[in-house]
């Protein structure tokens, strides 16, 4: 109660001088409207690429499918070393979302939310590959 956020620092993952790295990111949300509504599922992806478009680092998080947004560490590790190219979304498997614990509510069942999250992560990766 006696603290507040004064700022948020987001480090540039490509800030290593002369590294030739680039970063790409995507955020997708499934909900009845684009904003001001509780999401059914959402996915955020940040990929760092080398000069040959190979993934050197991946951050993948899913929101609205657990008490707090969770990163998908197993999927992140799986993505490292792959080329970012069309078809990359096929890497995403149901077991990559094993840590999520969605609820059933009026917006959708837990099963639907898991499936939606998997589709959103796949779409986010494909968006980055375009």
Mean pLDDT score of the chain, rounded to an integer? Answer: 93
Could you tell me the pLDDT band of residue 18, with boundaries at 50, 70 and 90? low
Structural contact between residues 62 and 92, judged by C-beta atoms closer than 8 angstroms: no
Res. 34 pLDDT band, cuts 50 70 90: low
Q: List, for residues 84-123, the tens digit of each pLDDT value.
A: 999 999 999 999 999 999 999 988 999 999 999 999 999 9
DSSP structural state of residue 33: S
Please tell me the predicted confidence (pLDDT) of residue 5: 93
Assess whether pLDDT exceeds 90 at residue 76: yes
pTM of the model: 0.89
Mean pLDDT of 32-38: 72
For the chain, give the percent of residues with pLDDT over 70. Answer: 95
Burial of 22 (0-12, 13-18, 19+ CB in 10 A): middle
State residue 79's pLDDT score: 98
HSE (side-chain half, CA atoms, 13 Å) at 20: 7
């Amino acid at each position: 109660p006696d603290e507040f956020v004064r700022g948020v620092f987001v480090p540039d993952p490509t800030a290593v001088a002369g590294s030739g790295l680039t970063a790409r990111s995507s955020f997708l949300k499934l909900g009845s409207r684009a904003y001001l509504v509780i999401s059914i599922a959402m996915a955020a992806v940040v990929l760092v690429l080398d000069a040959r478009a190979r993934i050197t680092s991946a951050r993948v998080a899913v929101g609205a499918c657990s008490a707090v947004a969770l990163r998908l560490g197993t999927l992140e590790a799986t993505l490292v070393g792959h080329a970012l190219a069309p078809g990359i979304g096929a890497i995403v498997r149901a077991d990559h979302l094993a840590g999520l614990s969605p609820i059933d509510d009026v917006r959708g069942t837990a099963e639907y939310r898991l499936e939606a999250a998997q589709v959103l992560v796949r779409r986010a990766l494909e968006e980055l590959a375009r």
